[in-house]
Each structure stands twice: as C-alpha cells, then as structure tokens.
Structure 1
Amino acid sequence: MSPLIPAYSPLLLLSFAVFSANASNWLYLAKLSSVGSISEEETCDKLKGLIQRQVQICKRNVEVMDSVRRGAQLAIEECQYQFRNRRWNCSTLDTLPVFGKVVSQGTREAAFVYALSSASVAFAVTRACSSGELEKCGCDRTVHGVSPEGFQWSGCSDNIAYGVAFSQSFVDVRERSKGASSSRALMNLHNNEAGRKAILNNMRVECKCHGVSGSCEVKTCWKAMPPFRKVGNVLKEKFDGATEVEQKKVGSTKVLVPKNAQFKPHTDEDLVYLDSSPDFCEHDLKNGVLGTAGRQCNKTSKAIDGCELMCCGRGFHTEEVEVVERCSCKFHWCCFVKCKQCRKLVEMHTCR
C-alpha cells in the first residue's frame, strides 16, 4: 500500500498564502490614534490587525504596545520619506493591509516594507527601554568596564538585544506558525531579519569627555542605535539591489536561492523578493495601485521623479501657483528671529 499523502484543498493552500502575505496587518496600529494609551489587557482584544498569537503577546506585554504602535507610525513615515519620489510612494489606506494589496504580493516593495517595519519595532522598543519607560528592560548592562581602546564604558547603552528579541517574537509570529512554510513566509522572515540587521550592523559608539575646561582626561562611552533615517537609507539601498529568488529544497530544508543562477547568493543583510513589481502607472484598485495621475513631478529631472518617468509617458500639466515663504529674516537681541512673508509664483507640474 502506498503511503498516504495529505491532500490540501485549494482553499487551504490559499489561506496559507494569504496568512503570510498579510503578516504586516499589525501596522494598522499606526491608525489607532483614537484608542489612546494601550494600558489594559482588555484593549488587546480590540486592536484591529493582530492575529490571536499577537493578541496574547500584547496581553503579556501591555506596557510595550505603545512602543509597537510608535514603531508602526515610524515605519509608515520613513517609507513615505524614502519613496517620496517614486511612482509607488507608500500611500496608506484606512483598511487592511494599510499599504493596500501591494504588500500582499511578493514584490521588492513588500520586501522593503517588511524589513523596515520589523526594524521600526526593534528601534521603538529599544528606545523605550533606554528612556526608562518599560519595567521589563532598561539600559544594556552587559556593556561595562574598560574598552580595548582605553575608554570607560558608562552611561546608558541601548538595549538592542531586547528590542530585536521582541521584534522577532511579535513581528515574525505569523510566519513561524504551523503550516506557514511557503516561499512567501520564507521571504518575509528573511526580510524581517535583514531589517533588524540594518540596526545591529550600524550601532555606534557615543562618548562624553570629562575634565578641566572640557579636556578629555576621562572619556566615558556607550553604545547607541543609529538614527532611524540611517536605517531607512540602508534599507533603501538594499531595496535598489534586492535579489529575485525562488524556493528550492536542499535535503529536507526549504530555502530561497537566486532565480538567476549567475547571480551571487544573497546575504542575511540583503532584501529578497519573489514577484516582479507592477509599473504602478495606472489606477488599479484590484492590485491596490493608485497610479501616478495627479502626482507632482520634476520637469528637469531624468530620474524616477522626472515627469517623463513619473508620468509613464502620458505627459503632464503645468500651472503657475503662488507660494508663501519666509524671507528677509533678521535676528533681534535677545533672542528671536523675525521674518517677512514673501509671495512668489512658481511652476508646478503634475502628471496627466
């Protein structure tokens, strides 16, 4: 008798795919300004976008959840900054997922969003630890003594280990659930970790000098996270050089390998994606694409923010608009700056 092979229904297989594709639904926390502080366990059940295991994590770590929400807001803000001049500019919706169906596909845009959002949770939670907001964590006490360079470790080193561990448990929980071993789940997990490494690999040493008249007779130093803008810049570079991958079985393990065998294998710090991106030119609600009609463009630029590329060859409108700027600013003793308001006409170009 041949061994029994479990037959998964198309509906069940689809549920696995949707399960992993919508793993960023927790970003909806950024939209919940009306909830106020997340300080009671009962609030966790009302938070839209969380799966049951995330609700359980919320109840066990209620004091951390305001930091998670700040992380979600930080991710959206940084995404919109990094993609401000691209056809897809991280526009958000008031529905799930907040970035629309763009992140439900295995594109490089989805890779960037997953990496950035996992990094933002690690960053926000670590910052809350260092500022004394959380009882469960504080400064990193493993950093102490005298460094090989001769300075004294002191001050409050950022407890990045705690922030990363919380990000792994909260953000990765969907993919690590039973049955979620699809290529998309592997893609998400890889990019989540790449996002956290963008912080870990860019930790820096900050120091303060002590001595007479500011001399540096004694120097105390601590480890600090990079500014989140630096993390965003690093991940944007990784986005530009992301690797298209496919799933392959090596022994009994499923792994992601470059789709083009001539490409060198990606590292843990690189972003990976499965599907080609749409061109984002036309309004396509089915795929969550808003299109570029009405977007402002740069008439003189040859880059993606230029009118030719941004408008996808459809042409653009030009109009003169009046802008108000501060001008003729003067410093008055003591101590304020007074400016006039100047009006001028400028040309504004928008895609047809």
Structure 2
Amino acid sequence: MSTLSRDKQIWWALLLLAVTFLTQQCAAIKWLGLNNYSQLTEGRLQAEFFCNRMRQLDVLNRKQFKFCKKFAVERSDAGAVSAVIKSAHITVETCQKQFRHFRWDCSVLRHVPELAPELKSLTAEQALVHALSGLVLSTTFADECSRGLIRRCGCGRQPTWLARERPQQQFHFDGCHTNLRMGQRLARKFLGASRSGGGRGRRIGRGRRRGGRGGRRGAGRRSQRREHRRRKVQLEGHGSRSDRSRGRSKFRKFVQMVNRYNYNVGIEASRLSEAVRCKCHGSSASCAIRTCHKVLHRRNYQHLEHTYIRRYNRDPLDVLLEMYDKKLRKTVYSESGYLGYEEPCSQEDRSSNPLRAEPKCENYKVVSGMPTKNDVLLFHEHSLDYCHLRDGRFPGTQNRECLPDGSPAAQRILKSATAGPKRREIVCSVMCCGRTYRNVTEQHEGTHEECQKSSCKLLTNPYRVICTPCQLLKSYCN
C-alpha cells in the first residue's frame, strides 16, 4: 500500500471520528424528544421506569438522566421532570410558530430524538435551538416554582426595580413572586450549562475560609491526576494514537463550550421577561395604591397598561430572532484548539497603523475567548441547503408559503434596514430557491387569524362579534 493511500485512509478515519464525536456532543438536544410524552405522574416506580426508559431511548444524556433520577425518584418530585416535558412541548411549538416564514422552519424538531443533519453539527440552526430551549426551560421552571408544583422551590424575591423606575407611585407587593433565579438555576443544572469558572471556584473558596483543608486537598488531588496523565503520555509516547486521543478530547471540549454558551444565551435572555401584574385600589379605581406581584411576560398577551408593567421593552423571542438573523459569529478552531470567534471589523480596525505596520482588517477579525455580553450566537459549520428534501425525511421548501416579490409586504421587507438576510427568506424568489411558485385563492372561516381584521364586526344590539368567511390569496413554492 502506498504512503499516499495510507495517509488518505488515516485522514478519512480522523474525519469520521470527529463527526462521530461531534454528533455525540450535540446529542444533548435530544431531550426535546420528550415532546412526544405527557406529563409525569407521581409515583416512585413510574418515575424510575420513565427515567430509565428515556435513557435507553437516548432521549436523555447522562447528566439529564441524573437530574431525572434525583428529582423524580430520590426526592419524589415529579413536578421538576414534568416541567422539562412541558418545556419540550413549548420549545417545539414556539420554534415552529416563530420560524414558519423562514427557509428553515423548525419542522425537523418533530423527528427528535432522531436528529436532522443540521442538529448534528454546530450550525446556526443548532445554536438557535439551544438558545430557545434554554429560554423556555428557565421561564417554565420559574412558573412551576411559583405555582408550587416543584418542591424545595418557593416564591421569588420582591421586584425592587418597580419602585426605582416609578418613584411617584405607591406599590404594595403581595402574592407569590415568580422565582426566575431558581428557574435559571434549574435550567443550567438540567442542561449542564453552568457558568464557566462558577460553582467549583466558589466552593473551593468557602473551603479555604473554613480552614483551607478542602482547597489544599482538592489542589493536591488535581496535581496527582495531572501527574498521572503526564506519565501515561510518556509511556504511550507521542504516537499517532495518543495524538488522535488528545485531538478528540480538545474537539469534544470545544463542542461542549459552544453548546454551553448558546444555552446560556437563552437562559440570560429570560431576564427580559420580568414583569409585574397589579390590582388597583383607591377611590373610583384611581390606582393611588397598587397591589402587585412579579410574573413573566408572555408574547402577544394583551394587558391594560396600569395593571401590567414590564421591566424591559424588548421581548426575549425577538432578541433570539435578531441574533439568528443578524448576530451570528463563526468560531475558529484548529489543531491547537479553540482560537476565538470572528467579529466584523470596525472602522478603526480598517484603517491601518503605519507605525506598527499592522495588517489592514478587511472583513473580520478573530477575537480570543468567548463573548461576554451574551448578545450573539456562536456556530462553527455553515448552514445546509434547506431547499430540497433531505434523507427522504427532512422537508425542503416545496409547498411552503411565500410572499411574491412584487407585493407591498415583500417590498417592505426587502427595503427594510432592520431585516437581515434570513428575514428576507419569506420572499418567493428566496424561499423557492429559484423555482417557480403558484397563486391559490383559499376560503377560510371568519375566526381565522388572518381573516379577523377584515371579516369580524362588533354589533351593538345586542353586543356581540360576528365573523364572516373570507378569501385569502396565497402563494406557494412549486
């Protein structure tokens, strides 16, 4: 066998191993397969069977299986696992609803725990699903805590920000406040997305303050493990097998780091959901005094301004949509490990410095470390071709609804400065991937969401709403 063919075989073997390890690490999103199951009932035997069965079906990974056993079996707390199942339902439903006008419309989530190709690698779509699931898990855990459905998880703290923002009004806080902090904590625990350098460092610090034994003992054990690994490498030598093992370990840590970051983006975005619901008191409902309790904002909920106050004006789902549309950053990885992420060059970066002879930054620069503001999504592999049917199961854009290029709605999107490239995918020329499209006139009931504005009328005698059927002109890709 020639050296060239042998090197080619080794290269393909390394590539296969890398893809295998990447698939295993991205399999943490398989828990969304709980969407196919109903809520867990109380009972130790039922809970243990459920956790074991989900582990056998590869729906839960090792850490998630431990979470299931700890809460549902050891603590007899089925509410925590039921919250995870509920989160899977909400994540799949929300993703399909919010991205129905994008070329990638989340329909592949119906096949989980079988993963579509884009969910097996660090694509933008995989990053989006991780962030969205982190957001939904945090808010669902927080709601279930405030409702008393999860044990050892009580009400949250009093919202102090309301009095600071509106000092001229009087507020009285009562009721059970939504415990968003605990919701975020439980979400990180289930997803294995603890903050880097977080819990372990604080525990070691407490050990030192109590006498220092815990910290010194932990440091001694770590040094022993490092010495053991060093001797093992010396015994094995610097052969190809040892190099491949170290390469796989580096790549596995890189995948875990990116997934953990994207999970935390969604978990941190849940803060934008903070709101309070109030009841007015005073003469003639003047709202001189308000009794309020903290809740979480839900998208498209209609509330009176004086009874519902949001802390932030930005909706967390809109934030994730904007990240997926315009704030994606590609990670840079080489044989030496993670190098950083690409950031667009600023005007200052584009101007060269003749004194330092620095090269001129043209498009992107590599920033070391991880983003600190959690305002971007990280990916590594470019998105796949979602135009055509893939693997015989995952659909393309055939029969998908779109907006004709010449329509007023499409022109507004194409000319909008806020719409990125992915929001423009609703236009037929983009959605249909160059194929033709057909126009269809559809008859809908008056209660259809797109008919209500034009076909529903308020009658005064007696007061009632009547909706008549309407016709809608739709366009679909061939």
Q: Same fold (TM over 0.5)?
A: yes
**Alignment partner of 1:29 out of 9, 30, 34:** 34
| 1:66 Cα deviation after fit | 1.1
Higher share of residues assigned strand: 1
Alignment of 1:44 onto 2:51: yes
Write out aligned runs for 1:48-197 (5 A): 48=57, 49-62=59-72, 63-92=79-108, 95-97=111-113, 100-141=116-157, 147-148=163-164, 149=167, 151-172=171-192, 181-197=252-268
Q: Which amino acid aligns with 1:350?
A: Y
CA contact (8 A) 2:22 2:252 kept: no
Higher share of residues assigned helix: 2
| 1:256 Cα deviation after fit | 3.7
CA contact (8 A) 1:147 1:153 kept: no
CA contact (8 A) 2:80 2:150 kept: yes
| 1:114 Cα deviation after fit | 0.2
TM-score (norm 2): 0.62
Report which stretch shifted further, 22-31 or 135-144: 135-144
Alpha-carbon separation, structure 2, partners of 1:175 and 1:146? 28
Unmatched runs of 5 consecutive residues or more in structure 1:
1-8
Cα deviation, 1:124-179, whole Å, max 9, x if unaligned, reads 11111112222221211465899554644433221011111111111126999xx5
Alignment of 1:294 onto 2:399: yes
Equivalent position of 2:239 in the other structure: none
Alignment of 1:325 onto 2:341: no
Alpha-carbon separation, structure 2, partners of 1:43 and 1:153? 40
Residues 209/93 of structure 1: CA separation in 2 closer, same or farther (3 Å cut): closer
Equivalent position of 1:3 in the other structure: none
| 1:343 Cα deviation after fit | 5.7
| 1:306 Cα deviation after fit | 1.6
Equivalent position of 2:433 in the other structure: 312
CA contact (8 A) 2:273 2:298 kept: no
CA contact (8 A) 2:142 2:180 kept: yes
Q: Which amino acid aligns with 1:310?
A: M
Alignment of 1:19 onto 2:19: no
| 1:269 Cα deviation after fit | 3.1
Residues 228/27 of structure 1: CA separation in 2 closer, same or farther (3 Å cut): farther
**Alignment partner of 1:237 out of 322, 346, 350:** 322
Alpha-carbon separation, structure 1, partners of 2:456 and 2:60? 52
CA contact (8 A) 1:118 1:192 kept: yes
| 1:218 Cα deviation after fit | 2.8
Alpha-carbon separation, structure 1, partners of 2:26 and 2:456? 53
Residues 255/120 of structure 1: CA separation in 2 closer, same or farther (3 Å cut): farther
Partner of 2:294: helix, strand, or coil? strand
| 1:28 Cα deviation after fit | 0.3
CA contact (8 A) 2:71 2:80 kept: yes
CA contact (8 A) 1:80 1:89 kept: yes
Partner of 2:279: helix, strand, or coil? strand
Alpha-carbon separation, structure 1, partners of 2:149 and 2:332? 42
Partner of 1:257: helix, strand, or coil? strand
Alpha-carbon separation, structure 1, partners of 2:366 and 2:172? 42
Partner of 1:188: helix, strand, or coil? helix
Identical pairs, percent: 25
Alignment of 1:284 onto 2:294: no
CA contact (8 A) 1:211 1:217 kept: yes
Residues 319/223 of structure 1: CA separation in 2 closer, same or farther (3 Å cut): closer
Q: Which amino acid aligns with 1:236?
A: L
Q: Which amino acid aligns with 1:167?
A: A
Report which stretch shifted further, 53-62 or 148-157: 148-157
| 1:98 Cα deviation after fit | 5.6
| 1:202 Cα deviation after fit | 4.4
Residues 139/328 of structure 1: CA separation in 2 closer, same or farther (3 Å cut): closer
Partner of 1:304: helix, strand, or coil? helix
Alpha-carbon separation, structure 1, partners of 2:287 and 2:335? 57
Q: Which amino acid aligns with 1:309?
A: V
